[in-house]
Amino acid sequence: MTHKINFQNASSDQIIEALGQRLNQIRLNQNISQADLAKEAGVSRSTLTRLADGQPISLDSFIRVMQALKLTDQLAALLPDPSVRPVDRVRLDGTERQRATSKSSGDKKSSPTPWVWGDEDISE
């Protein structure tokens, strides 16, 4: 039984269901009972049942199950390495980003309007 899913177009519920089914199939392929996996992972058996049924569980429980199934090397594939690329480091003068830029200001850089008192006539 394959659990193919297009993660890019799937809803979060569909992704949770697919991941749960995959982990359950891996558990079965390793011939581990739910009770044994629950004990090894430090989670309840009902947590594993919810996972296998495609219901949400905590991130902590998910990681514990991955560790118990010896799948920790796969965790690195979940997210890309966020380190700054060398080209970006040069553009940022050797620093790393501390915050995101606002999308509301748009891409065009306009010079700020000089500030003046409200009661002054700037036409003089």
Amino acid at 51: L
Which tens digits make up the pLDDT trace of 72-94? 988 888 877 777 566 666 666 66
pTM score, whole prediction: 0.65
Alpha helices, DSSP H, located in 54-101: 59-68, 72-75, 86-91
Tokens 């700020």 — which residue?
A: 112
Q: Is the pLDDT of residue 67 over 70?
A: yes
Nearest 5°: phi and psi at 118?
-65, -25
Whole-angstrom distance, CA of residue 29 vs CA of residue 102: 48
Torsion of CA 17, 9, 74, 34, to 10 degrees: 0
Cα separation of 83 and 94, whole Å?
13
Residue 100 pLDDT level (bands cut at 50, 70, 90): confident
Torsion sign, CA atoms 56, 60, 66, 72: positive
Report all structural domains of the chain as residue ranges with CATH numbers, in order of start: 12-78 (1.10.260.40)
Q: Which two tokens stand for residue 26?
A: 């891996």
Kindly indicate the confidence band of residue 55, based on its pLDDT and cuts at 50, 70 and 90. very high
Give the pLDDT confidence score for residue 105 in this predicted structure. 52
